[in-house]
Amino acid sequence: MVEKVKVENVTKIFGRHPRSILKKVKAGVSKEQLLKQTGHTVGVQEVSFEVNDGEIFVIMGLSGSGKSTLIRCLNLLNRPTEGRIYIDGENIIEFDKKSLKELRQKKIAMVFQHFGLFTHMSVIENVKYGLDIRGISKSESQETALEVLKTVGLGGWEHKLPVELSGGMQQRVGLARALANDPDILLMDEPFSALDPLIRREMQLELLEIHSRLKKTIIFITHDVNEAFKLGDRVAVMKDGKVEQIGVPEEILSSPASEYIEDFVKDIDRSKVLQAKNIMTKPMALVFISAGPKVALKEMRSNSISSVFVVDRERKLQGIVTVEDTVMAIKENKSLQEILKKDYSTTDPETYIQELIPDATDSKYPLAVVDQDNELKGIIVRVSVLSGLV
């Protein structure tokens, strides 16, 4: 993995003389005491993390945890009191005005919670605004804006005013405006929190689809644990300006680092977080299609199972055979090809447990987890699906 963003010991203090109280912060004086004694507010304290190229990195926390303060440090809308922020290996804290302007125009873009659209401008004028102020030609900015509007599902709406759009559509315009500059990094500060639940779910799926196509690095802020675990490749949990834990959703669910995180995630619906790849197991028994029924029977006996999946030499799934059919095939001198069954269920590694429940309940065979090339990656037995819910 290629490191895209690196944050090292970033602290942000608000007040008239923030650097003067750094020693007290490092000595462990609480935020409440510092505010009372000095009138300064600690927004972020000694935060460090890395974000990989193409990753969705979610920063999650309750109101006042410091997450929005932190994301604004990443494009220097909030200039850190102390620490370093590297983008592609360059410490942006040291950037002059020209370099910072280029960073914001070309490499990093931000999507805000309340859309931030210009109400007197049409949709396409909003989207190409950043391109226009960069001096991009009218024809090129128009073409780019139309293309990104199609990407976010707003083709044909380019001449409408924001007031004519729903909340979800307005947020799509905000996303399109950020994408128009073709940034490497998208900063998203609670972009869906103002939306109705149904529209919010649609926007989450839309973002995942866009990410799968464009492979942008996304740093996403949310207070919603379900949203965090649905979107994030990795999640950082913040409390009182500090990062409490960083990990993949499954790790945070199964091994919370503190009582605070344990309370934070206790009511989460695990079926909407865990995916097939989290509960599948590597198949201990497999048979190649070129083998005979005797080999298949031996494999089933050795592993105390009553059926076995059959693959080709590239591990592409061909079917499944049962012990009864295999015994019959040996007696009747049939090949594996002749007794293959296809009445099993398959799923891809990214499918959520919630979607697997019907198949796991009804199927008499394990679920086969396959990739887009039909290569067998793992199997899921019914007990794994049900145990994944608790």
> 14 and 41 in contact (C-beta within 8 Å)?
yes
> 12 and 80 in contact (C-beta within 8 Å)?
yes
Nearest to residue 56, comparing CAs of 277, 236, 280? 236
Determine, yes or no, domain membership for 273: no
> 285 and 376 in contact (C-beta within 8 Å)?
no
Q: Are strands 234-239 and 82-87 parallel, antiparallel or unpaired?
A: unpaired
Determine, yes or no, domain membership for 263: yes
Determine, yes or no, domain membership for 259: yes
pLDDT of residue 276: 87
**H helical segments located in 5-110:** 22-26, 31-38, 67-73, 97-102
The strands making up 317-322's β-sheet, listed across from edge to edge, are 287-288, 307-311, 317-322
Same domain? 169 vs 257: yes
Residue 387 reports pLDDT greater than 70: no
pLDDT of residue 386: 63
pLDDT of residue 46: 95
- Of residues 122 and 197, more confidently modeled: 122
- Residue 239 sits in a domain whose CATH number is 3.40.50.300
Q: What type of residue is 282?
A: K
pLDDT of residue 390: 52
How would residue 85 be classed by pLDDT, with cut points 50, 70 and 90? Answer: very high
**314 DSSP 8-state letter:** T
Among 208, 237, 268, residue at a domain's last position: 268
pLDDT of residue 96: 95
How far is 272 from 266, CA to CA, in rounded Å?
Answer: 14
Q: Are strands 346-347 and 317-322 parallel, antiparallel or unpaired?
A: unpaired
pLDDT of residue 273: 75
Same domain? 287 vs 256: no
Same domain? 230 vs 311: no
Same domain? 142 vs 193: yes
Helix 293-303 / helix 323-332 crossing angle, nearest 10 deg: 150
Among 249, 268, 287, residue at a domain's last position: 268
Number of domains in the chain: 2
Same domain? 252 vs 322: no
In the three-class reduction of DSSP (H, G, I as helix; E, B as strand; rest coil), residue 94 is classed as helix
Nearest to residue 370, comparing CAs of 350, 387, 342, 346? 346
Arithmetic mean of pLDDT, 251-267 = 86
For the chain, the average pLDDT equals: 90
Same domain? 108 vs 250: yes
pLDDT of residue 101: 92
Among 250, 268, 286, residue at a domain's last position: 268
Determine, yes or no, domain membership for 133: yes
Determine, yes or no, domain membership for 49: yes
Same domain? 162 vs 203: yes
Residue 303 reports pLDDT greater than 70: yes
pLDDT of residue 202: 85
Per the document, the length of the chain is: 390
Same domain? 83 vs 190: yes
Same domain? 315 vs 263: no
How far is 356 from 358, CA to CA, in rounded Å?
Answer: 6
The token pair that represents 89 in the structure block: 């290996």
Determine, yes or no, domain membership for 221: yes
Q: Is the dihedral of CA 364, 370, 376, 379 positive or negative?
A: negative
Same domain? 169 vs 300: no
| Percent above pLDDT 70 for the chain | 98
Terminal Cα-to-Cα distance of the chain (whole angstroms) = 32
The conformational region for residue 27 under phi > 0 = left, psi -120 to 50 = alpha, else beta, is alpha
Give the number of other Cβ atoms within 10 Å of residue 186's Cβ.
23
How far is 214 from 224, CA to CA, in rounded Å?
Answer: 25
- Of residues 62 and 387, more confidently modeled: 62
How far is 321 from 370, CA to CA, in rounded Å?
Answer: 17
Residue 141: CB partners within 8 Å, gap ≥ 6?
128, 131, 132, 180
Q: What type of residue is 23?
A: K
pLDDT of residue 8: 97
Range of the domain at 296: 278-387
Same domain? 74 vs 216: yes
Same domain? 259 vs 174: yes
- Residue 311 sits in a domain whose CATH number is 3.10.580.10
